[in-house]
Amino acid sequence: MHAPNQISLAAKASGEPEFREIGLGPWSETHPGEPRPDNPASPNYSRHFDTELLNEGDRRNVLDRYRYWSVQAIKDDLDARGRHDFEVAVENWTHDFNIGSMVRTANAFQAGRVHIVGPHKWNRKGALMTELYQHVEHHPSIAELVECWRNRIAGEIAYERARAAAAAIHIHESAGSVSALLQCETASATPDDSVAHDETPSFQSSAIADAFREGGASAQSATQSATQRAMSELAAADNRIKELEAARIIALDIIPGAVPMETYRLPKRCLLLFGAEGPGLSQKALDLADDVVYISQFGSVRSINAGAAAAVAMHAWIAQHAAPASV
């Protein structure tokens, strides 16, 4: 049995502080009499819920909406909600304890992916299990990471160009359909020679013409709606292509020639490179980066903690591209 922590005992004896309880207890205690949501026969059944958490309670560091959810259900929901366009890469040559903190921050800011460069084993202590909710990839070298990332960007550009081309074809075909419908409607409104001198055209001919016009108007409206959707698709694809073509690899380090983050416009699609505490990024990483950015500091120290620097950089991206609308 471990001896009580003297600091904790002193705090308890002083009556300060009083900490609020995080999370929820067992389902039977927090929702007495209510059917369990992991029971398929229950009216509130959902595959999201984890039986063990419902039994024992959920004290994890997760948002309240994810209470009692399984790890996979949370990860799937984050994917469905849409992860952000920035990715994070950390060099793991020194087994730096800050890596876990960086992964946790990447989860908080919904980074698209987390890349660990170097040895597969990394210091997970500071991550507090948040790596389970992220897409974590491992790379043997920084060169391999950069090659994979640039190839993926090229593949996404090719996909968006194909999507834009398909939308353009649809718009062209829809325009032809509308033109054909208008020509048919004009023709139906003009009497042929056989009734040109007949002052009382037959009721049947008039009804057929009316029906054709009604059908043509409906078809024309549907075609126009499809054209508008295709135009929206084309605009979205073109905008995405511009974002992908502007994608950059950004290294965070303090070296000659680096630019201050406070004046740097982060591209929407980017890969942020972070190094270890002390040595910073490797020379290879700096050579392969498109830009090198540093965080301005005003005290006596040369640099701030690597985990803190990563948090500042990720939040800078959030402030520029994902800041919530003011209420």
Judge whether 90 lies within some domain: yes
Q: What is the pTM of this model?
A: 0.80
Residues 182 and 236 in one domain: yes
State the Cα–Cα distance between residues 114 and 107, nearest whole angstrom.
9
Residues 35 and 167 in one domain: no
Average pLDDT estimate for 109-116: 96
CATH number where 277 lies: 3.40.1280.10
User: Of 59-73, 203-217, 268-282, which gets the smallest average pLDDT?
Assistant: 203-217
Residues 255 and 317 in one domain: yes
Per the structure, the count of domains in the chain is 3
More confident residue, 87 or 301: 87
Domain-ending residue, one of 80, 96, 121: 80
SS (H, E, C) 119-159: CCCCCCHHHCCHHHHCCEEEECCHHHHHHHHHHHHHHHHHH
User: Of 125-129, 163-167, 294-298, which gets the smallest average pLDDT?
Assistant: 125-129
State yes or no: pLDDT of 93 exceeds 70: yes
Residues 62 and 177 in one domain: no
Torsion of CA 305, 250, 293, 313, to 10 degrees: -50
What is the reported pLDDT for 147? Answer: 98
Phi, psi of 48 (to 5 degrees): -70, -25
Range of the structural domain that residue 29 is part of: 19-80
Average pLDDT estimate for 78-99: 91
Judge whether 298 lies within some domain: yes
Closest by CA position to 113, among listed 123, 122, 121, 103: 103
pLDDT bin (cut points 50, 70, 90) of residue 179 is: low
Average pLDDT estimate for 269-291: 93
Average pLDDT, the chain: 86
CA dihedral over 283, 284, 287, 292, signed as positive or negative: negative
Tell me the per-residue pLDDT of 232-261, one tens digit each, with 9 for 90 and over: 999 999 999 999 999 999 999 999 999 999
Judge whether 4 lies within some domain: no
Domain-ending residue, one of 243, 270, 292: 243
Judge whether 291 lies within some domain: yes
What is the reported pLDDT for 212? Answer: 46
More confident residue, 296 or 5: 296
E-assigned strand segments in 2-158: 86-91, 114-117, 136-139
Residue in the block written with tokens 């075909």: 173
Judge whether 10 lies within some domain: no
Tell me the per-residue pLDDT of 1-38, one tens digit each, with 9 for 90 and over: 567 778 777 877 887 777 778 899 999 999 999 999 99
pLDDT bin (cut points 50, 70, 90) of residue 177 is: low
Question: Are 49 and 68 spatial neighbours (Cβ–Cβ below 8 Å)?
Answer: yes
Closest by CA position to 258, among listed 302, 198, 196: 302
What is the reported pLDDT for 203? Answer: 45
Residues 233 and 292 in one domain: no
Residues 36 and 69 in one domain: yes
Q: Which residues pair with 292 in a beta bridge?
A: 251
Residues 70 and 217 in one domain: no
State yes or no: pLDDT of 52 exceeds 60: yes
Task: Calculate Rg over the CA atoms of the chain.
Answer: 30
Average pLDDT estimate for 215-240: 80
